[in-house]
């Protein structure tokens, strides 16, 4: 225990750990509270008490990919598919901006109906609302990413899910690990704030591969890192898998905060699907972002990534009031800015 405590103290001050040291901390559950407290102190020092809310618009659950862990996978014929029109998407964005959201996240499966022309029109119209625009629609060409950027997109979320090449290509059939890396490199070169992240608990995943994930985020200096537990979906090939641990996901998230002290780290919805207080616990363990769903009606229910997804019957207005109250209850406050990463001068 003493050795792990010393490693946490060093990470808190120097923001560096080796692969072996990360793996040691992940394996040692006797120091969890010390790790979480250290991550919370680093969060407070580098990004402050503000929590950034980013309104999530889930606009299509149609996807050409066939990832074995995802409920939106192409071969899932038990899901009810939907695709919002551009006008519907913009209308939801307008309502979200009226609720006070400073950033909107446009998320979908890899739906090829949304051509670059359609997406750039949507982005321009939403950018005109005076918000920051984040796009999360999967792997595209560099030219597409450039077009989104020129239309006003500020950030792009593309989770690596796992940096274990063999594991990635096993669970993402037909996809290329190298192309995933190419996408992240292109996004950085085009001036986006780059978001990525990983799933905790994929079958075949090890603590060593999780340590690789954390060091990968450090290597690319990711601006936003989402860490969430894998929750098996009954309509996927991994329906009988054990799934991820809330505690392990929390530990990975806390280590990410120690190593990337000024990055934006969301308290993910999947955490609250496993623990009723999951997002608030995450906010007290290093996180500083929450992404409330601003999608309306049955679309929430139909965007079925995994079972037990929270708030599927809530309205956007209720979600906004509810999350604000929870944040205030833990002594934090909702930010009134767009929440761009501010790199610390002492790093």
CA–CA dist 292, 269 (Å, integer): 8
Phi, psi angle pair for 58, to nearest 5°: -95, 105
311 is in an annotated binding site: no
CB atoms within 10 A of CB 331: 8
41 is in an annotated binding site: no
Q: Return the beta strands (E) in 171-320 as ranges.
A: 193-200, 224-229, 289-290
Tally: H helices and E strands in the chain: 14, 8
**Given phi > 0 = left and psi -120 to 50 = alpha, else beta, which region is 34?**
alpha
Nearest residue to 290 (alpha-carbon basis) of 301, 277, 302:
277
The CA–CA distances, whole Å, from 246 to 142, 208, 224 equal 35, 18, 20
161 is in an annotated binding site: yes
CA atoms within 13 A on the CB side of 86: 14
CA–CA dist 231, 235 (Å, integer): 12
- Binding site residue list: 63, 67, 70, 161, 180
- Binding site residue list for S-adenosyl-L-methionine: 161, 180
- Binding site residue list for [4Fe-4S] cluster: 63, 67, 70
């Amino acid at each position: 225990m003493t050795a792990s405590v010393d490693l946490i103290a060093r990470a808190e001050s120097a923001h560096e750990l080796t692969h072996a040291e990360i793996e040691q901390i992940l394996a040692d559950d006797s120091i969890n509270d010390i790790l979480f407290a250290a991550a919370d102190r680093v969060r407070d020092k580098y990004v402050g008490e503000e929590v950034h809310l980013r309104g999530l618009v889930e606009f299509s659950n149609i996807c050409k990919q066939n990832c074995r862990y995802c409920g939106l996978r192409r071969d899932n014929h038990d899901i009810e598919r939907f695709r919002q029109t551009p006008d519907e998407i913009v209308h939801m964005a307008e309502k979200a901006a009226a609720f006070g959201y400073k950033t909107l996240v446009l998320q979908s499966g890899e739906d090829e109906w949304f051509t670059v022309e359609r997406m750039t029109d949507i982005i321009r119209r939403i950018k005109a609302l005076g918000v920051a625009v984040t796009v999360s629609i999967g792997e595209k060409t560099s030219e597409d990413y450039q077009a989104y950027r020129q239309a006003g997109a500020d950030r792009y979320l593309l989770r690596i899910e796992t940096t274990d090449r063999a594991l990635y290509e096993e669970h993402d059939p037909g996809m290329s690990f190298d192309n995933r890396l190419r996408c992240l490199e292109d996004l950085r070169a085009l001036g986006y704030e780059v978001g990525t992240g990983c799933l905790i608990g994929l079958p075949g995943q090890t603590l060593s591969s999780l340590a690789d994930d954390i060091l990968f985020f450090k290597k690319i200096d990711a601006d936003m890192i989402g860490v969430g537990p894998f929750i098996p979906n009954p309509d996927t090939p991994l329906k009988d898998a054990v799934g991820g641990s809330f505690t392990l996901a929390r530990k990975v998230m806390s280590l990410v905060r120690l190593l990337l002290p000024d990055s934006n780290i969301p308290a993910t919805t999947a955490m609250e699907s496993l623990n009723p207080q999951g997002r608030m616990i995450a906010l007290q363990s290093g996180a500083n972002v929450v992404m409330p769903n601003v999608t309306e009606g049955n679309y929430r229910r139909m965007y079925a990534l995994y079972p037990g997804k929270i708030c599927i019957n809530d309205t956007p207005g209720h979600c906004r009031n509810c999350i604000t109250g929870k944040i205030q209850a833990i002594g934090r406050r909702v930010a009134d800015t767009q929440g761009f990463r501010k790199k610390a001068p002492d790093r």
